């Protein structure tokens, strides 16, 4: 790709081309500090220094390139120093924002946990993380207040039960999303678990893919429950008319400040082919991805520039060395059926029970109790979801009601309100150095207020709160997406608040949609911002207008496309 120089070329002189740092085009000289850090030393190598040096000498001994770079390859981010308000987020130097504690992300590919693994996370939470534990919308669990001195002991505990923090962060293949009901769902087209396991075995922690331009997000599911539309690569369950069950291949999705929906390549991939095709797409990203500017280093920008046809051609000719089979698009599926909340029948006749903590926030003691309840119900399997929820699998029918009652006594709702079920929040300013506003507590308070004020509201409504523009909580694809920023209140004082996005959604919006790729990003109403204090009033007002004006079978997102700006304000 060529980029127009900042200074216009003189007449008659060829315009100078500036490289994007693509390895495949011979650009191996680092073009920014992040690329230099990765070239200086593979991020995977920092583990030895953590174990042999930093865990003994403490935080102040940590090299800057390791602290704010390579530590991420093992799931470690410095967390935000307490007391620094959002107005200073973009002003202070990293060393001024850094606390001497870490967030540690436990990688949970496919959201799959045994009870021994869940108890190990609970133990680490209670012993080393002040009881913290957040279920993320990437099926991970994040812990806080981690000291570098304790990291080797934490790894020993987690790895002793088959868990890892390897490549949970960094410019690497991140956790692989998988259906939390893989292998048990009565509606599943194909179980993607073997492919997830094989990719993990071959490639996670492998230096072949430990230096990518940016993060690389994967989703593999035999049914549409892992936000395949917004991942770098997704394998979506389909049935080929001659070859039977397999996967449709999508590439180039992602949100943040420049959102893109993934593109279908029109290629059918069998279960056995998935790992090789995954490696081919990841290889294209490694070799052709843009490394000059980190703001343009995600795969979505390359896919947007190339288009689906060229991307597939390069994948087949340069990486797979063979043609892929053409295949069908997946059948449309409503997004509100993706979270698996409630009690459902497995294909073996047992039940699985999905429950909702408050915006993903739990704690170590609660996780330990969940493990005990699952065991008492005859289960050894728990799952995390891409919606900040949890499931217990393999429950005998006669034990369901007792389990449901015990979970709800822990405030883990199996039959939650619309607002508890569908409100999501990122980490926010409490721990995140990029955040501008608080999110978790604000979202929890919002749920309480809406449950009190709108007891009869029963339509699907997603409300996603993000502490900064980066969209970790997927604000652009929520019915009500709230992007944190500082705003002026009625007294002209600068306070925490949100820019409002309305009507975003993934996938189909009706039971009988006509377009499989009919997702949309939320609409920004001109000048519409709301303070955190006024948020309950605003959402209540909006929900009531929707109730009053909606047509039969109309969703909130559909209503926003025809509602006036006055009705949306």
Output the pLDDT for position 512. 42
Output the pLDDT for position 511. 42
Residues of the chain with pLDDT under 50: 1-11, 14-16, 510-517
Q: Rounded to whole angstroms, how far apart are CA atoms 77 and 346?
A: 38
**Residue 76, φ and ψ in degrees, nearest 5:** -115, 125
Q: Both tokens of residue 214? A: 């940016």
H or E segment and range at residue 405: helix 400-409
Output the pLDDT for position 519. 87
- The partner residues of 462 in beta bridges, in order of sequence, read none
Q: Rounded to whole angstroms, how far apart are CA atoms 218 and 299?
A: 12
* Count of alpha carbons within 13 angstroms of residue 511, beta-carbon side: 3
Q: Both tokens of residue 311? A: 């991307």
Residues 6+ apart with CB under 8 A from 109: 139, 175, 176, 178, 196, 197, 200, 204
Q: How far apart are the first and last CA of the chain?
A: 42
Find out whether 66 and 38 touch, Cβ atoms under 8 Å.
no
Q: Rounded to whole angstroms, how far apart are CA atoms 32 and 152?
A: 31
Output the pLDDT for position 518. 72
Average pLDDT, the chain: 94
Output the pLDDT for position 526. 85
Output the pLDDT for position 269. 98
Residues 6+ apart with CB under 8 A from 112: 178, 193, 381, 383
Q: Model pTM greater than 0.75?
A: yes
Residues 6+ apart with CB under 8 A from 420: 356, 358, 413, 447, 451
Q: Rounded to whole angstroms, how far apart are CA atoms 20 and 305?
A: 13
Find out whether 535 and 483 touch, Cβ atoms under 8 Å.
no
Find out whether 532 and 465 touch, Cβ atoms under 8 Å.
no
């Amino acid at each position: 790709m060529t980029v127009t120089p900042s200074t216009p070329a003189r007449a008659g002189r060829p315009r100078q081309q500036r490289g994007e740092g693509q390895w495949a085009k011979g650009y191996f000289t680092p073009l920014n500090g992040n690329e230099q850090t990765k070239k200086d030393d593979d991020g995977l190598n920092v583990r030895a220094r953590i174990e042999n040096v930093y865990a003994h000498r403490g935080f102040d001994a940590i090299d800057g390139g390791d602290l704010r770079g390579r530590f991420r390859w093992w799931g470690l981010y410095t967390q935000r120093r307490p007391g620094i308000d959002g107005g200073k987020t973009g002003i202070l130097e990293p060393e001024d924002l850094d606390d001497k504690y870490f967030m540690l992300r436990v990688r949970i590919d496919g959201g799959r946990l045994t009870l021994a693994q869940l108890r190990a996370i609970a133990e680490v939470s209670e012993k080393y993380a002040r009881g913290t534990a957040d279920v993320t919308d990437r099926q991970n669990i994040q812990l806080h207040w981690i000291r570098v001195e304790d990291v080797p002991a934490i790894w020993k505990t987690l790895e002793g039960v088959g868990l890892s923090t390897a490549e949970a962060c960094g410019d690497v293949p991140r956790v692989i999303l998988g259906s939390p009901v893989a292998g048990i769902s009565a509606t599943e087209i194909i179980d993607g678990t073997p492919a997830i396991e094989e990719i993990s075995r071959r490639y996670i922690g492998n230096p072949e893919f430990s230096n990518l331009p940016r993060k690389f997000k994967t989703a593999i599911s035999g049914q549409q429950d892992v936000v395949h539309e917004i991942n770098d690569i997704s394998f979506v369950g389909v049935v080929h008319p001659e070859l039977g069950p397999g996967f449709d291949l999508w590439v180039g999705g992602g949100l943040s400040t420049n959102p893109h929906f993934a593109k279908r390549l029109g290629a059918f991939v069998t279960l056995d082919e998935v790992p090789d095709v995954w490696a081919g797409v990841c290889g294209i990203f490694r070799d052709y991805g843009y490394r000059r500017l980190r703001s343009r280093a995600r795969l979505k920008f390359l896919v947007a520039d190339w288009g689906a046809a060229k991307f597939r051609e390069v994948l087949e000719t340069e990486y797979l060395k063979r043609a892929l089979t053409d295949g069908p698009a997946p059948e449309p599926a409503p997004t509100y059926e993706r979270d698996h909340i409630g009690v459902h029948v497995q294909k073996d006749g047992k039940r699985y029970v999905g429950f909702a903590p408050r915006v993903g926030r739990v704690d170590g003691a609660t996780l330990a109790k969940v493990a005990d309840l699952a065991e008492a119900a005859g289960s050894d399997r728990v799952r995390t979801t891409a919606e900040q929820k949890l499931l217990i699998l393999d429950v005998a029918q006669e034990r369901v009601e007792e389990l449901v009652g015990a979970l709800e006594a822990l405030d883990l709702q199996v039959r939650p309100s619309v607002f508890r079920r569908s409100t999501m929040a990122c980490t926010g300013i409490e721990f995140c150095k990029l955040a501008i506003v608080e999110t978790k507590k604000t979202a929890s308070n919002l749920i309480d207020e809406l449950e009190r004020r709108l007891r009869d509201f029963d339509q699907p409504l997603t409300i996603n709160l993000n502490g900064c523009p980066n969209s970790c909580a997927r604000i652009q694809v929520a019915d009500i997406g709230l992007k944190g920023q500082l705003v002026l209140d009625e007294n002209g004082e600068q306070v925490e608040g949100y820019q409002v996005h309305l009507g975003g959604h993934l996938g189909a919006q009706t039971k009988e949609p006509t377009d499989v790729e009919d997702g949309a990003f939320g609409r920004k109403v001109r000048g519409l911002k709301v303070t955190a204090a006024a948020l309950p009033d605003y959402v209540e007002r909006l929900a009531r207008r929707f109730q009053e004006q909606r047509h039969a079978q109309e969703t909130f997102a559909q209503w926003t496309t025809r509602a006036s700006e006055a009705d949306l304000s």
